[in-house]
Amino acid sequence: MRKRMIAMLAALLLLPVLLLPAAAQDLIPVGQTVGLALRLDGVYVVRFDSRSGTAPAQDAGLKVGDRIVAVDGAELESADALRSLVAAGHGADLILRVRRGEKDMSFTVRPVSTQSGWRLGVYVQDRIEGLGTVTFYDPGTGVFGALGHGVSGGLQILDGAATQTAVLSVRRGEAGQPGELRGLVGAGERLGRVEKNTDRGVFGHAEQAWEGVAIPAAERSEITTGPAELLCNVEGTEIRRCAVEIEALTFADEGCRDLRLRVTDPELLARTGGIVQGMSGSPILQNGRLVGAVTHVLIGDPTRGYGIFIGHMLEVCG
C-alpha cells in the first residue's frame, strides 16, 4: 500500500444508508487520528496555477470545484488521463465539458507551453489523502463519524477508507500560520470504509470496533459555556483528555461553527500551540456528554477555534 507523509487538507456520494437516527443516543467518543484516503467520483479543479504568466483554464471560465467530465468528447476517468490528453494536443484548443453543481457547461481552453510541457494552469484531483480525527463510534450500528466538516468542500466520492496511523510530528500553530499534525496515510491497518462526505463530517461503517464507554449525545439545552474537555491524539497513538473552555454558543443552521472554543490545557498548548490541522473531529465532552467536535482554528489565534454541535453531525448520518 502506498505510503506518504501528509497532513490533513484544511476534507461522498450517498452510498449505503447509514442507520443512525438524529435523536440523542449513547455513542463512544473516539478522538483517534486516522489516515483518510478518498477516491473522488471524477476529476475536480482544486486550484489554479499562473506561474507561467497565465492560467488558461481560469481565464476560460473554469472555477474551483468544477468537475471536468470530458476533453474533446473523450470521457475522463482520472487526473492522469487529463494530463495525457493535454500533452497529446500539442497546444491546440481543447473543449472541456464541465459539471458545475447541477449544470453541464463547455469551455474552450488553449494550453500554454511551459518547461515541463503543455499546461492548462490548473491543479486537479481524483483522490484525496490526509489525516483527520474520528469523533464517535456507534456500537449498535457500527457507524462512525469524523472531521465535523467536509473534505475539500464536501466533494462527492466513490469510496474511501480510514486507516490506522500514528502522529509522527507536529508543526505548532502560530498567529497567522495554522499548525498541523503529520503522519503516514495508507500505512496502517484498515479500520473502516468511508461512505459519505458532507458539510458536517465524513461518515462510514467501522470494520474494527473502537473500544470505549458510550456516553449520551448532548441535546442543545444541555450545553453551556464554561469548562469542557477535548479528546485528542497529537503524539503517537495516545488519546489524551485536554481542558478547553466553551466561550460561546451559536448553533448556526448552516456550516459547522456552533461552538467557539479556547484551549486552556498547558500540555496541549506547549505541544501544538492550540488547535492544529488534523485535529478536526476531536470530540468535545461536557458534563459526561458528547457535545460535538472541533472543526476550525482561528488563524490569528491558534488557542481558539470552532466546533460543531453533535446533533448537527447526527442529522446527516442517514
Residue for cell digits 511551459? Answer: 114
pLDDT at residue number 101: 85
Three cell numbers at 194? 468511508
C-alpha cell at 190: 484498515
- Active site annotation includes 280: yes
The pLDDT confidence band at residue 156, using thresholds 50, 70 and 90, is confident
Confidence of residue 318 (pLDDT cuts 50, 70, 90): low
- Helix or strand or coil: residue 80? helix
Residue ranges and CATH numbers for the domains of the chain are 1-41+130-318 (2.40.10.120), 50-120 (2.30.42.10)
Q: Is the pLDDT of residue 25 over 90?
A: no
Buried-exposed string 91-105: b where 16+ CB fall within 10 A, e elsewhere: eeebebbbbeeeeee
| Active-site residue, from 66, 126, 138, 265 | 265
- The whole-number average pLDDT for the span 281-295 is 97
pLDDT at 288: 97
Smallest CA-to-CA distance from 259 within 302, 228, 288, 217 is with 228
Catalytic residue among 138, 149, 296, 312: 149
pLDDT in tens, 178-214: 999 998 887 789 999 999 999 999 999 999 999 999 9
At 298-310, the pLDDT tens digits run 999 999 999 999 9
Compute the half-sphere exposure of residue 125: CA atoms within 13 Å on the CB side of its CA.
19
Condensed to tens digits (0 to 9), the pLDDT of residues 34-59 reads 999 998 888 999 889 878 778 999 99
Predicted confidence (pLDDT) at residue 11 exceeds the cutoff of 70: no
What cell numbers appear for 295 in the block?
472543526
- Closest among 40, 35, 5 to 192, alpha carbons compared: 35
Whether the predicted pLDDT of 259 surpasses 50: yes
Among 306, 242, 251, 311, residue whose Cα is nearest residue 280:
306
- Catalytic pick from 66, 280, 296, 312? 280
Is 50 exceeded by the pLDDT of residue 12?
no
Query: What is the mean predicted confidence (pLDDT) over 232-248?
Result: 96
Sheet of 4-6, strands arranged across: 4-6, 180-185, 167-171
pLDDT at 128: 87
Residue 314's pLDDT band (boundaries 50, 70, 90)? very high
Q: How far apart are CA 54 and CA 76, in angstroms?
A: 24
Q: What is the pLDDT of residues 56-79, one digit of tens each?
A: 999 999 999 899 999 999 999 899
* Residue 149 CB partners (closer than 8 Å, separation 6+): 10, 11, 199, 200, 201, 256, 280, 295, 296, 308
**What pLDDT, on a 0 to 100 scale, did the predictor assign at position 8?**
35
Cell readout for 227 is: 469548562
